[in-house]
């Protein structure tokens, strides 16, 4: 899609009309915390855990957010490792993976945290 020349042709407006640029601003830490704490609290209530596990869920969300932010800052993509791109999907996989824990499999709060 560069300028014409060197084997490239002019891109016509008729072709360009099929494309649209969409931009989404990244979420703030407060927004991510609210979203995933809500998901975790619904899961805790659905599995009928005690209220102590709700605070553990909030701590898991906060610690996951800290690791996610640190990884996004320090593990930048390079030409050799272009797959180092962290997005919201990575954050959600950790939280939703924690939501796969069943109440019958948890012996204590320490087991839940591990």
The parent domain of residue 80 ranges over 26-113
CB 64 within 8 A of CB 95: yes
Asked whether 9 and 45 are in contact (CB, 8 A), the reply is no
Please indicate, yes or no, if residue 64 is contained in any of the structural domains. yes
Full-model pTM: 0.73
- Give the number of domains in the chain: 1
Q: pLDDT band for position 1 (50/70/90)?
A: low
For 38-85, the pLDDT digits (tens) are: 999 999 999 988 888 888 989 999 999 999 999 888 888 778 777 777
Quick check: is 54 in a domain? yes
- Asked whether residue 79 is assigned to any structural domain, the reply reads yes
5-34, pLDDT tens digit by residue?
777 888 888 988 898 888 888 889 999 999
The percent of residues above 90 in pLDDT, for the chain, comes to 32
DSSP letter for 22, please.
-
Whether 4 is in a domain gets the answer no
Is residue 76 in a domain?
Answer: yes
């Amino acid at each position: 899609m560069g300028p014409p020349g060197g084997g490239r042709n002019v891109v016509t407006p008729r072709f360009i009309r099929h494309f649209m640029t969409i931009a989404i601003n990244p979420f703030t830490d407060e927004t991510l915390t609210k979203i995933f704490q809500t998901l975790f609290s619904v899961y805790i209530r659905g599995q009928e855990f005690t209220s102590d596990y709700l605070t553990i869920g909030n701590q898991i969300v906060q610690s996951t957010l800290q690791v996610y932010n640190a990884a996004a800052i320090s593990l930048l993509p390079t030409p050799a490792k272009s797959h180092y791109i962290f997005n919201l999907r990575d954050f959600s996989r950790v939280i939703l993976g924690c939501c796969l824990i069943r109440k019958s499999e948890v012996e204590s709060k320490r087991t839940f945290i591990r």
